[in-house]
Amino acid sequence: MVIRKYNSKDESGWVRCRVLSFLNTAYFDNVLKEKEKYLNPAIELVAIEDGIVVGLIDVEYETEERTVCSRGTGLGGMIWHIAVHPDYQRKGIGSQLLAQAVAAAKEIGLNRFEAWTRDDKWVRNWYVHSGFKQVDSYLHVYIEDKELEGALKSEMPKLKPIQSFAHYVGEDREKVMTKFKRVHECVCYEKQWKS
């Protein structure tokens, strides 16, 4: 296996790897049809084995404080995507991608990474095991069908909402979690180092 910088020829493999790796997670329906492009510079790495993208990491980073990351001081990077193809998981590929991304980040003067994820226990454990600390959270709320009554309405005549996605940042999380069928805790993890 080789870890190298992403190039545009990798896009189809990148998309395939991301989709397949997200299928067994709380982000199962977060499907992209093409690779995301960033407004700021990014560390974009892929793991290649037998000509296939088997892992990836994308870290958009700041050149000005607090333009990408939501917290901290100094320049940081946001891990927007990290994924390992299901047939290649549990081989340390994610950890190797992270280690190379951290090394690249240190070279350009970053002092931390931020990453947001949902409530998959194994993903959260991986972040903690990789030296991240939980620093924030809020709820991702999917609202469908009858759940919309009393939660959301349209101001536009003849436009009837069928489903909605919302962020809940309030204090009464238990009420939200019992009212709606699909609710995920979205957690921010942060990894710091000396630059």
pLDDT of residue 195: 63
CB 60 within 8 Å of CB 77: yes
Domain 2-135 has CATH 3.10.290.10: no
Mean residue pLDDT of the chain comes to 96
**pLDDT tens digits along 58-89:** 999 999 999 999 988 999 999 999 999 999 99
Separation in Å, CA 23 to CA 19, 51, 98, 189:
6, 22, 21, 22
Residue boundaries of the structural domains of the chain: 2-135, 138-183
